[in-house]
A and B are shown apart, each in its own frame.
Chain A
Amino acid sequence: MNGHARSIPSSPRVWFQRVASLTVKELRQLYRDPILMLFILYAFTLDIYLAGSGVSLELKQARLFVQDHDRSTASRELIHRFRPPYFRFMGETADERGGIALLDRGEAMLVLDIPEHFEKRLLEDESADVLLLVDTTNSVLGFLASSYAAEIVSGYGMEVGMRRAGLGEDALERMPLIENQARVWFNPNQNNTWFMSLTELLNIITVLVVLLPAAALVREKERGTIEQLLVSPLSPFQIVLPKIAAMSAVILAGTALCLFSVLGAVFHLPFRGSLLFFFAVTALYVFTTAGLGVLAATFARNMAQVGMLTVLMVAPMLFLSGNWTPPEAMNRVMVFFMTLSPLHYFIDASFGILLKGAGLKLLWDDILAMALIGATVFGIGLWRFRRQFH
């Protein structure tokens, strides 16, 4: 700023008026890019609906083919136990080569091989092995499939064993069995929809909150209109603030839209905690994380650069948020990066409030960390921005 600009008296009322009129200008500019508006709308509604419906990370209807070399009552009984929801019996295959070919083409995930004399051996008090070929290109599902298969086979074996020992069905009542009832909390039906849609919403918020203010700032640089702003009686903070305020308003409106339409009305996400609290936390996150956009804008000279820089900043935030991969499964370097990501704390807080019903008492540390990181980045961004134009 130059001396001339400072000489104009600036009361708080004028200060706010300036910020307000620039905020309106930003909103208007956004509104006049119809494709952009359309996609922001799409991101907060249909995109989250798509992510939440139809995607499941559970083992569901794993395709099973069988090579039954025994063709006995026992083998059929065992095969019959591999049923939905986890497995789906697709048919038989003649030999091992046929089985491998099915696996190669991805038509089968599992091939169960039951040897000859399976029933005979069981009747003769001997033991018999069956072989399961598992496609583990997706290691998680491969693991789940083999552990369910192990459960089925051992359950079947136990029954055969009991029968052979001459013990009836009620014998289990007289055995020292430990029954472990697993209860899944916060999401008893293991509804993937909630996890996926909420994750997607938080991701969309993060992408937009960095990209929109960064782009708004760089566009002024690229087109040279920043010169006009700089000769006006505005401080650097007054130039940055309206952009962040406008974009935050759009993002918060989008969040509200998503929350009440897709998450609430369609997916019936149980809002266990206070919605007001959630919005307060979101507002804090949006406002502070926008600082990253300001920072990116100070490094970039054109939109292409700012786009790449944003991807470079946002992608680590999205994937090291501790959501897909919790900290206990990451190595130490990644955990360190994760603790720097404001999204990590925002995710903790959001899932905590919306799904677990947590309040400020449990989440104060997350919110504090988020605010501190955000404020620091914001400060650096603003400092660099100020320095660039002095």
Chain B
Amino acid sequence: MKWKRIFIVAQKEWREILRDRLFFTLAFVVPGVLMLLFGYGISLDVENLPFAVVDHDRSRLSRDYAYRFIESRYFDFKGYLDDERDVDPLLSDNVIRAAVIIPEHFEKRLLAGRPAAVQTLIDGTFPSRAQTTKSYVTAINNAVTMELVSRHLAEQDGKDMDRARKMLQPVGLQIRYLYNQSAKSIWSIAPSLLMVILMIAPPFLTAIGVVREKENGSIYNIYASTVSRGEFLIGKLAPYVIISTLNMTLLWVLAVQLYGAPFKGQLGFFLPASVLYLLCTTGIGLLISVFVRTQIAAIIVTVILTLVPAVLYSGFLIPIASLSGQAKITAHLIPAMYYTNIAVGSFLKGIGLEVLWGDLLVLAVYALIVFSAGFILFSKRPKA
């Protein structure tokens, strides 16, 4: 292995990248755009939920009840409907996502001190949103019920309402949100965005870079040269690792400056760990490039093999604990999961090597394995 040859291969690759202006620009633009897109475009907060009310009772209490939903910032009132049959087309057409139906005799029953039933119809196409919506409905409904019952008890026993309420609610729940005190989703997303984007971009650049030479035939120059395969691979991949490292720094700055995500950990730990992760994902690109012959195949294989797992199986949207079966296995097979622990830990939790050494070790072993596999499978003497 001669450093001079490695340097020359890297220089040739770097020059080739630089001379393809559009490609060079896109190599930086794409990750940045993805960061903005994910940050501003994805919000898992359920707010301003469009809903309608069907009020068959048309009484003071039923209006009060509906008003509790109307005034909530989680709901966006679209109007009263006359009939339940009007609900279905509106839900189907995504005009509303929920409807509250108050039956007749609602007020009469409650004033007589008897239970009354109300129905809420929720659009269930996206189950997670339906679940959140349901929990809002329950919370509002419980608050109203608590008031009604304590008023009822107060009137019955001649106590004052505050005491009646205290009696009904003897156990208070105090909640402390950790790591993301305001439970803002942009904070919790920003560190994971680094993981997702660095899972997609480096393999993409690498796979195309190597397969391009294969498809165009320029790789025969390498096959026929004195450059060894180790020298070639290191020199070839180095520029892509450099580009990805720059991108990683850019993304970190965007996360901290633009999104205001808190960085509580140590940069001295986070940056090397991130570079290690980049090496893993670059290695994945290398492995893909060994198997495919055409660039179109390289592109499609990379997109399918990296984008889907990065979003679904990395702990980004869904915590690993709630994955089941083969999804959990997939999660452990890609480096994204381990880096998510490092990124989230460094940003939100402020922990470092003392806790995360295990994840770091996995990444190191991972990088070693993919590169060795790439090295072994790459041959200067292709069969075809």
B119 touching A39, Cβ below 8 Å: no
B117 touching A308, Cβ below 8 Å: no
Beta-carbon contacts under 8 Å, B114-138 to A: 114-132, 134-138
**A1 in the interface (beta carbon within 8 A):** no
Contact with A along B322-361 (1 / 0, CB 8 A): 1111111010000000000100110011010001000000
**A245 in the interface (beta carbon within 8 A):** no
Cβ of A114 to closest chain B Cβ, rounded Å? 10
Stretch at the interface among A58-66, A250-258, A368-376, A377-385: A58-66
**B195 in the interface (beta carbon within 8 A):** no
- Asked, given contacts A57-B127, A178-B110, A184-B124, whether A157 binds B325 with beta carbons under 8 Å apart, the answer is no
Interface size class of B (residues with CB under 8 A): 35 or more
A307 touching B153, Cβ below 8 Å: no
Q: Kindly identify which residue among B26, B122, B183 contacts A139, using a CB–CB cutoff of 8 Å.
A: B183
Stretch at the interface among A8-16, A140-148, A236-244: A140-148
Q: Kindly identify which residue among A133, A176, A309, A357 contacts B148, using a CB–CB cutoff of 8 Å.
A: A176
- B178 CB contacts on chain A under 8 angstroms: 100, 103, 133-136
Q: Which has the most chain B C-beta neighbours within 10 Å: A144, A200, A208, A356?
A: A356
Whose C-beta in chain A lies nearest to the C-beta of B22? A305
Beta-carbon contacts under 8 Å, B161-189 to A: 166-181, 183-185, 187-188
Residues of B that sit less than 8 Å from A by CB: 20, 22-23, 26-27, 29-30, 33-34, 37-38, 40-50, 65, 76, 88-89, 91-94, 97, 109-132, 134-139, 141-142, 144-146, 148-149, 152-153, 166-181, 183-185, 187-188, 200, 204, 208-209, 212, 215-216, 291-301, 303-304, 308, 312-313, 317-319, 321-328, 330, 341, 344-345, 348-349, 351, 355
Q: Can you list 29 A-B contacts with CB-CB less than 8 angstroms, sorted by A residue number?
A: A36-B296, A55-B313, A56-B323, A57-B317, A109-B319, A127-B166, A137-B188, A140-B45, A140-B185, A147-B135, A161-B169, A164-B170, A176-B110, A176-B111, A176-B115, A176-B148, A177-B116, A178-B141, A178-B148, A180-B137, A182-B119, A182-B137, A200-B308, A303-B299, A308-B23, A319-B41, A328-B48, A330-B43, A334-B40
Residues of A that sit less than 8 Å from B by CB: 33, 35-36, 39-40, 42-43, 47, 50-51, 53-63, 78, 100, 103-106, 109, 122, 125-144, 146-151, 153-154, 156-158, 160-162, 164-165, 172-188, 190-192, 195-196, 200, 204, 207-208, 211-212, 215-216, 219, 222, 299-305, 307-312, 315-316, 319-320, 323-326, 328-331, 333-334, 337, 348, 351-352, 355-358, 362-363
The 10 closest A-B pairs by CB, nearest first: A54-B327, A57-B128, A187-B124, A184-B124, A303-B295, A308-B26, A157-B171, A190-B127, A215-B296, A36-B297
